Structure 1
C-alpha cells in the first residue's frame, strides 16, 4: 500500500502513477447514477453556467464508472474559488447496509496527516522554539541512532534514511488488524530503528513514516502539549474545522476534545463516529495477488466479511498511524486547511517558502517532488500542491493551486480495491478530471493507461 502503509514501493508507485501521476474488478452493480436519487451531489443554489453544470455531470459519470469498475465508494469535492462547489458521492449497493455514503462524511486521511504535522512544526520554527537544523538527538536523546546527524529538516522531507516502521513485520500485524496491540509512538520508532538505515542522513530520499512519528514527539517535547491538542489549538479551532481530529487507539475514533497521542501511550478512542465513512479492503483470497512479493505470506486485513469479496476495515487498529497518518477529516474541512495553508494564513512567508522547497522523489514518480510535508505535483492540467494518504480502507487525494484559492479532494473507500489496472485507470481518470475541473481546464478525454507493476 502506498504512503502510510507497509508496502511503500511497488504498490505506492502503481497507485501514484494512476492517481495524479499516482483493486477488485467483477460484478459490483452500479448505484443510481442520478445525483438526485442518491442525494449526495450538492452545489450552491445560485445559477451556474452550462460549463460548470457539464463539468459536474462529467465528474458524476466518472465517479460512477469508478464504482462500476470496483471501487466500493467515492467522494469528490471541487471548489474553483468562485462560489461554485461540486460535491459528489457514489457507492456500490452492497456497502449501503453499513453506511449511506455522503460527500460530508469523515474519512481517515492517512498521510495527508503529514501536512498538518509539518505545519505545526514550522509554526514552532517561526516562534523560534525549534530550528530546522536541530538534530533529532537534541529533542529525543537516545531514541534515534545517529540522531546527532539527522536534522528536523531531514525528517520533514524524508531524507533522513530511517527505515519505514510500517514495513516491520510486528507493526504490520497491527496495521492490518491481525493484532490488537496498541503501539505507542516511541515503540513505533523503536520498530523502525531496529532495522538498518537505508542511506546516510541527507544523501538521498526515501518516504518513511518513522520520520513523522519522530516529529510528533519533537513537537510535544518542545511545547509540553499533546500532538492532538496542538493540531486542535493551532489549526482546527482557528479555521473552524468542526470534523477534524487525530484518531488513536486500537479501533475507535477520538473526538476533538479527547487527550491523545503522548509519547508514553496512545490511549483509546471514546466512540465510533456515525459520520465516518466505512472503509473496505479485499479479503484474504482476493488480496494475495495484489501484494508485493516481499509481503509476508498470509498478509491480509482483518474485519467483518462483506459481499463482493471485501472486509470492513473501518474500526481496524489505528495505533500504528498517529503523526504519520492518524487524522480524520472531511473533504470540506481539508479544503479549508489546504486553502489557508497555501494562501499564507497558517505560516509566515519564510516558513511557507521552506515548506515548498522540494527534493526529487523516487525515480519512478518523476512528476512529484517532496517539500516539508507538502508535495508539488505536475498533473495533465497544471501544477498543484498537496498530499495523498492511504490507511486501511481509505485513500485520499487533496490538492490546491499555488494560491490556495482552488481546492480538490477525491476520497476512495479502499486502497487495494483500486489496485487492479482497470479499476486504477478509472480512479485516475476521475482524479485527473477533478483536478482539471478545479483548474478550469478541459477534462482529458483519452482514458489513462494502467500501470503494469501493481
Structure 2
C-alpha cells in the first residue's frame, strides 16, 4: 500500500502525532444479513442505539456487542468490519483490545499472589531493584489500582518522536519504563488515583522477576489455556491475524483512514498490546469478573474500591479495584475494564458472579480528549446494554 499521511491520537493522551499509512474511502453502510432473525421490542431499541452511534459525527464504521446471560448469547452489530465491503463484524474477528489488556496482567499477578510468589505489598525496590530508586516504595497493590504515582511513559517526547519517525518501530517492551526513568513520582504512593500505562508494565516485569518466565508465557499458562482462549495473543509486530475488525481514524472533515496496522504492539505490551476476539473477550471477563481465577481472600483484596475511572470512562459511576473497575449504572453493578487505541475502543463487563456479560467493541478511538461528546453518547449506549443485560 502506498505510504501517505496518518492522523492519530496516542491511545490515552491528548497529544496529536503524525504517522504514515494509506487512506481509504469514506464510511459504508452495512446491508442486512440474510438469515439473521429480525429483532423486536428491546432488541429493536438496542439496535437503534447502535445505528445512532454509527451515524454520530466521528462515529465508528463498525460495532459489535455480545450480550450473554448464562449460555444464551445475543450478538448486536452495526456497520461493517471493513470499509468497502458488506462484511458484518463477527465474534471471531480479531481486534486490538487496548487497555482491557490491563485486566490480563492483573489476572497473572493475582494468581501469582495466590501461589505465594508475589505479595500485594511487595515493592518495586524488592522485586525490580534496577528501576529508579525514587520508585522503590511503590507496591504491587498500588500498581494494580493506579495509585503508584509512576510517570506515564506514553507521555515521553522521546517515545513519540520515535513513533513519528517509524510507526512500526519495534520497542524492547521490557525497557519501556526507561523513557521516564529520570522522572520522580507524581505523588506519594497510595495518596491519590492517577491512571498510568507504566503501572502494568511494572506489573508484568514483577511477574517475570518472580517466575523467571516471559510474561507472554505466563499469559498462556495462567489465562489463555485455562479459559480456552484460542485466538488471543500478545504480538510484538503491527500485523493482525485474519480475519480482523479494521480500525479507523474518523475525524471529519479529514478522510477516514484505516489504522489497524499503523502501530506495533511492542510499544504498549502488557499495558495494551493484546489481540483477541469478542468471543474470547467474553470468556475472559466472565471468569475474571466472576472471581474464577483467584482465591476468595485475594478476590476480597481485589474488590477494595476507591474513586477512579478507567480510560476511557466506562458507563455509570466508576470505581477502581485491583486491575478491575466497578461500573455502577442506573440498573445495577458490573465489573470490567475499558480501553482505547488508535482504531479501537473497548468495554468488557460482567456481573459479580460472572453469569451475565457484555463486550462492546467499536472500530474507532474515542476518549475524553479526542471526542468527548461521542464518549458521552457511547457511555449512554453501553449503559442501555448493561440494563438489558441485568433485566430479569
Residues 387-426 of structure 1: matches in 2 within 5 Å? 387-416=337-366, 419-420=370-371, 423-426=374-377
Residues 50-129 of structure 1: matches in 2 within 5 Å? 53-69=40-56, 70-81=59-70, 83-91=71-79, 95-97=83-85, 100-129=88-117
Aligned with residue 438 of structure 1, among 384, 389, 392? 389
User: Cα offset for 1:213?
Assistant: 0.4
| Cα distance change of structure 1 residues 228 and 66 upon mapping to structure 2, 3 Å threshold | same
Aligned with residue 171 of structure 1, among 138, 141, 159? 159
Q: Deviations over 1:59-106 (max 9, x none)?
A: 22221221122321101110122x331112222597134965323312
CA contact (8 A) 1:384 1:399 kept: yes
Size of the aligned set, in residue pairs, is 368
Q: Deviations over 1:301-330 (max 9, x none)?
A: xxxxxxx71221111222111110111112
Distance 1:408 1:211 in 2: 26
Aligned with residue 379 of structure 1, among 329, 337, 340? 329
| Cα distance change of structure 1 residues 426 and 234 upon mapping to structure 2, 3 Å threshold | same
Q: Deviations over 1:231-260 (max 9, x none)?
A: 1111111111111111223x12xxxxxxxx
Q: Deviations over 1:387-408 (max 9, x none)?
A: 0011111110110111111000
Counterpart in the other structure of 2:197: 209
User: Cα offset for 1:28?
Assistant: 4.6
Unpaired segments ≥5 residues, structure 2: 1-7, 16-25
Residues 441-452 of structure 1: matches in 2 within 5 Å? none
2:226 is paired with a residue whose SS is: coil
1:281 pairs with 2:249:
yes
Distance 2:266 2:305 in 1: 30
1:437 is paired with a residue whose SS is: helix
Counterpart in the other structure of 1:12: none
User: Cα offset for 1:174?
Assistant: 5.3
1:343 pairs with 2:304:
no
Residues 248-287 of structure 1: matches in 2 within 5 Å? 248-249=236-237, 251-252=238-239, 272-282=240-250
Residues 121-160 of structure 1: matches in 2 within 5 Å? 121-160=109-148
| Cα distance change of structure 1 residues 350 and 421 upon mapping to structure 2, 3 Å threshold | closer
Counterpart in the other structure of 1:6: 13
User: Cα offset for 1:373?
Assistant: 0.4
* 429-438 or 211-220: bigger deviation: 429-438
Distance 1:2 1:339 in 2: 31
Distance 1:150 1:85 in 2: 42
User: Cα offset for 1:143?
Assistant: 1.3
2:135 is paired with a residue whose SS is: coil
Distance 2:319 2:356 in 1: 20
Distance 1:377 1:427 in 2: 14
Distance 1:341 1:208 in 2: 21
CA contact (8 A) 1:145 1:193 kept: no
Counterpart in the other structure of 2:299: 352
1:75 is paired with a residue whose SS is: strand
| Cα distance change of structure 1 residues 429 and 157 upon mapping to structure 2, 3 Å threshold | closer
Higher strand share: 2
| Cα distance change of structure 1 residues 161 and 68 upon mapping to structure 2, 3 Å threshold | same
The alignment's TM-score, normalised by the length of structure 1, stands at 0.74
Distance 1:127 1:197 in 2: 30
Unpaired segments ≥5 residues, structure 1: 9-26, 44-51, 253-271, 287-307, 442-454
Counterpart in the other structure of 1:322: 269
The alignment's TM-score, normalised by the length of structure 2, stands at 0.85
Distance 1:170 1:217 in 2: 22
User: Cα offset for 1:370?
Assistant: 0.9
User: Cα offset for 1:178?
Assistant: 5.0
Distance 2:302 2:291 in 1: 11
User: Cα offset for 1:175?
Assistant: 5.8
Distance 1:343 1:378 in 2: 16
| Cα distance change of structure 1 residues 404 and 416 upon mapping to structure 2, 3 Å threshold | closer
Aligned with residue 310 of structure 1, among 256, 269, 272? 256
Distance 1:98 1:170 in 2: 41
2:63 is paired with a residue whose SS is: strand
Counterpart in the other structure of 1:190: 178
Distance 1:118 1:323 in 2: 10
Distance 2:354 2:81 in 1: 36
Aligned with residue 378 of structure 2, among 424, 427, 436? 427
